[in-house]
Structure 1
C-alpha cells in the first residue's frame, strides 16, 4: 500500500518521480482499511526537504500509511514559507487530542544550546509527555533523540571538540532486535552533529538497550521497550547530497569545518558523493513501521490506555 499525503504537498512529485507509491486522498477514502497514523513533528529549518526525506522512507512500506505533519505552535519558521506551513502543517495544539500509531520527532540545528534555553522547550516537554499516552511508538532523531532521552532519563549530551561529520562504519550489537532485521553486522551511516550521548550514562535498569554504535562516533541507536521508543542520534534519512550542502554552507560562512569523513570520492569535494547508507535507512524505517503495525491496537482509541491507568494508579 502507498503513503497518503496531501495532494498538493511538494514532496508528492519528488516521491512519484522516485517510484514511491503515493495515494491520492480520494482513493484513500474509498478503501475499507485503517491506515497507520504516523505523525511527524518537524523541527528542521528546511521543512520541505525533511518532510520529503521522512515520507520517502515511511512510504516504502507495503502498508497504507497516513502522514500528518506537525509543527511547534509558538515557534516561527525562518526557512519555510508561511503559506506552506498553513496549508500542510498542524500545530501540536491542533492534534493533541488525537492518537497516533507512530510519531517521529526530528533533529534541530540547536545542539549546543542547553535544553532549557531552547525557545520551545516547554512545549516540547509537553509533547514528549503526551507521546506516553497518545502514541503507540515514538521515533526520535538526532537532537530530537537527545532531547527525549534527557527528558525521560536525564541522559546528558556532551559538546564535541570537533563536529562528527561524514559517513562512519557502525556495528550491529543486537541482531535479534526486530528493528535490526536484515541488517549487516557492519554498515555505514551518515553522521552530522556537534554533540553526543555516551553509553556509560545509560543506567542499568533504565530499559534502554544499545542497538548500534560506531568506534569513531559512539552511540547511534537505542531502543526502549517502555512506550516502544527508538532514539537514533545520526541521520539515516539524509539525501545523498545533504552532507555536501551542509559542508559548502559552512565553508561559505567561514565556519571551521573539514570535508565530511569518507563521503566525497578521494576526499575531493568537487566529486559527486556516493550514498552508502540508503539501504539501511529503508530497512530501519521499514522494520519500525512493521513493528508498529504488529503491535498497535486496531482501535486507535485504545492506544495509551494501559499507560494512562499506570499513571493514575502509580
Structure 2
C-alpha cells in the first residue's frame, strides 16, 4: 500500500488521537480478518469468531514439554545480568523486578524459532491475509504477590500514534507459559470492541515510552468511553492452561489487573503486522520509539 506522508497524514487520518480536548468513538472501516481458512490452521468458525469478537483462543498451542522448555528460557533471561542491564529489559516501577523483555525473538534463538513456527506466524498470516513481520516481541512476567497490571488500552492507538502504523491490520499472539486464572492477572478483553477506535486525550511527550512501558497514562481511554464499550460488549476474562494462546486484534480494548495471588503469570507476546501495512513516521508523537519497541525492519517472517 502507498502510505500518505507529511502533514497530509494527519489531514486524511480517520483514526485521530491525542490532539483533541475531548475523546471520540470512531467506528472501524477495515475488516478484522483479511484472509480465509484455505491452507491454514484456523478453520472458518475460528476466523468468524475472530471477526466477531476480535480474538480467538487456541487451547493447546504448545505441548507440556515445550512449555517447560520455554519457561526455563524465560527464567534464564530474567536472571542473566547482561539481559538485565540491556535497555530492552523493563523492570516494575515499585519492586524493580523484571516486568518485560522486549525484542526477545532477537535475544533468544529458541523464541525466534517459536515466532516463525507455522502454529504462530502461519495463523497470523491467515488472519492478516499477507506475509507478516514482527512489529514487536516481548516476554511478560507477572509474579505472584505484586506483579503489575496493564490498564485498559488499544494497542493500535499507541502503535498508530507513536510508531506510525497506518491501519489496524496487525494481530497479537499471547502464549501462556503458566496457567491463567481469573485471579492472577489474566488478560481481559471487551469482545467486539475492536470495531470501535477510542480517540484519547493528552499530547504525547518526548520519550514517552520510558514511562509508558512501566505504567501507561497517555494513550489510555477516558472512563466514559470505557464504560460505553463495557456496557455494549461486556468483559471476557481469558483463562486457560499453560501452553494455550490467544490471537487478538490490534484494536481490541484490553487490559489486566495486578496479580495479588500467590500464582505467577508469564507469557510470550508477539505482534505481527502485515507487510502491506508497514509503519511510516508517527502520526501523533514528536519522534519514533526505539526499534526494539516498534520495528523498522519489515523483513517477512520466513515461511
Bin for the TM-score computed over the shorter chain: under 0.3
Which structure has more relative contact order (CA 8 Å, sep 6+)? It is 2
Larger radius of gyration between Structure 1 and Structure 2: 1
Q: TM-score, normalised by structure 1?
A: 0.24
Q: TM-score, normalised by structure 2?
A: 0.25
